[in-house]
Amino acid sequence: MDTTKLESLDRLINEFSKLPGVGKKTAGRYAYHIVTGSSEQAETFAKAILEAKNNIKFCSICGNFASGDTCPICDSRSHSTICVVKEPKDVLAIEKAHSYKGVYHVLHGTINPLANIAPKDIKIAELIARVAKGDTTEVILATSPDVEGEATAMYIASLVKAYGVKVTRIAQGLAAGTQLEFADEVTLTKALEDRKPI
Amino acid sequence: MDTTKLESLDRLINEFSKLPGVGKKTAGRYAYHIVTGSSEQAETFAKAILEAKNNIKFCSICGNFASGDTCPICDSRSHSTICVVKEPKDVLAIEKAHSYKGVYHVLHGTINPLANIAPKDIKIAELIARVAKGDTTEVILATSPDVEGEATAMYIASLVKAYGVKVTRIAQGLAAGTQLEFADEVTLTKALEDRKPI
């Protein structure tokens, strides 16, 4: 089969396979969807990519998505409490709960030696610079309770404590609505350790 | 949070979620990858989509990918044997085996009442038109041995036989290199039923 003429398909498959978690097979399925779809659909898709890339900036203070230089959360809230998260979608998740009224700091990753992500590769220096200004009274470490999230939290805690700022970690325990019999050992251990008097 | 200004991100997530098997969460991860990447990467991606859509046509004879009106396989081979497959990627899979020397017919789908795909929605009429020309001596039904593939094969067989053309189905049995103890019941039954003298 004359594959040289079909190289634009290979290029598209290659582009799709750069997306996180997408292998050649899945990329091929996506590319097939594009070439069998209408021209309007392909144009809308390409336009959405360019527009999102051009319109979406990151807040110069917290690193969250923003359309201007700073995000609406940094513009409107007290900066005394900073909640540290891994990604912008974590900000959205916490905002949906409507219980936190402080500002955020988006690390854009967690320390992960296996994936070659060192402290300098994520926005830890920017967080320390915010804390060093002296307006901060508490830093809440809200990275996920997995290996990378815990390591990142511990690393940041050691740095922030040097500024005399209160450092807290989000609580671990049983999730609302889950059944005790299905909880894993680590979660159960944490839930028992951190028991509260009622 | 001011979400109206971030609607270009929502539009991109929406576009990604139109891809097969992609939900809102995965689409969000893909979109995050785009907006955190470089502008060059986004432009290359958008360009690849448009180029693939503009360059890749479908062969007017067999429905396979083509850069011109017909594909290189239809242009260069005998049309006496037609191998019927579901998708262009199935053509690539068979071509890789280097054992088939006839032409193909790509259905672009299989009959699937649950997904509202009727015989008229896939390229069965085009296949019958090719067979009706009288050049065909054999039609090999090479749809997958799953429910939709089998149903489609049976349906096409009944139509093609009316033209006095030999109709065959690709063999089912144990795959090369697999272990008998792990084969499923249906495959084992087929493998025993279709046993060959040696």
- Correct CATH for A70-197 of 3.40.50.620, 3.40.1360.10, 2.60.40.10, 3.40.50.1100: 3.40.1360.10
What integer pLDDT is reported at residue B19 of this predicted model?
Answer: 94
A1 pLDDT above the threshold of 50:
no
- The answer to whether the beta carbons of residues A109 and A86 sit under 8 Å apart is yes
Residues 43-102 in B contacting A (C-alpha not used; CB under 8 Å): 43-56, 65, 67-68, 71-73, 87-89, 91-92, 95
pLDDT bin (cut points 50, 70, 90) of residue B2 is very low
- DSSP code at position A117: B
- DSSP code at position B120: G
- The answer to whether the beta carbons of residues B16 and B34 sit under 8 Å apart is no
CA–CA min distance A42, chain B (Å): 6
CA–CA min distance A131, chain B (Å): 23
Amino acid identity of A183? A
Residue among B36, B52, B73 whose CB faces A9 most closely: B52
**Percent helix, percent strand, percent coil in chain A, to nearest 5:** 50, 10, 40
A59 pLDDT above the threshold of 70:
yes
What integer pLDDT is reported at residue A5 of this predicted model?
Answer: 52
B174 pLDDT above the threshold of 90:
no
What integer pLDDT is reported at residue B30 of this predicted model?
Answer: 94
B194 pLDDT above the threshold of 80:
yes
Q: Please give the average per-residue pLDDT across A167-177, as a whole number.
A: 86
Give, in words, the CATH class of B3-55. Answer: mainly alpha
CA B89 to chain centre: 5
Q: Please give the average per-residue pLDDT across B120-145, as a whole number.
A: 93
Mean pLDDT computed over every residue of chain A: 89
Q: Please give the average per-residue pLDDT across A192-197, as a whole number.
A: 80
Alpha carbons A20 and B32: distance in angstroms, whole number? 10
Which ipTM did the prediction report? 0.71
B165 pLDDT above the threshold of 90:
yes
CA–CA min distance A195, chain B (Å): 33
pLDDT > 90 in chain A, percent:
59
pLDDT bin (cut points 50, 70, 90) of residue A125 is very high
Amino acid identity of B132? A
Annotated domain spans of chain B:
3-55, 70-197
B187 pLDDT above the threshold of 90:
no
Q: Using one digit for the tens of pLDDT, what is the confidence trace for B133-147?
A: 988 999 999 999 889
A4 pLDDT above the threshold of 70:
no
Residue B18 tokens read as 């139109």
A8·B34 Cβ contact <8 A: no
Mean pLDDT computed over every residue of chain B: 89
A27 pLDDT above the threshold of 80:
yes
Residues 23-42 in B contacting A (C-alpha not used; CB under 8 Å): 26, 28-37, 39, 41-42
Chain A contact for B3 (CB, 8 A cutoff): no
Q: Which of A70-84, A158-172, B2-16, B99-113 has the lowest mean pLDDT?
A: B2-16
pLDDT > 70 in chain A, percent:
97
Strand order across the beta sheet in which A166-169 lies: A103-106, A81-85, A138-141, A166-169
Nearest to A169 by CA among A189, A155, A186, A153: A153
What integer pLDDT is reported at residue B5 of this predicted model?
Answer: 52
Q: Please give the average per-residue pLDDT across A138-159, as a whole number.
A: 93
pLDDT bin (cut points 50, 70, 90) of residue B4 is very low
A1·B35 Cβ contact <8 A: no
Which residues from chain B sit within 8 angstroms of residue A62, using beta carbons? Answer: none
A105 pLDDT above the threshold of 60:
yes
CA–CA min distance B176, chain A (Å): 21
Q: Using one digit for the tens of pLDDT, what is the confidence trace for B61-117?
A: 999 988 889 999 999 999 999 999 999 889 988 988 888 999 999 999 999 999 899
pLDDT bin (cut points 50, 70, 90) of residue A19 is very high
What integer pLDDT is reported at residue A2 of this predicted model?
Answer: 45
Q: Please give the average per-residue pLDDT across B41-65, as a whole number.
A: 92
- The answer to whether the beta carbons of residues B121 and B109 sit under 8 Å apart is yes
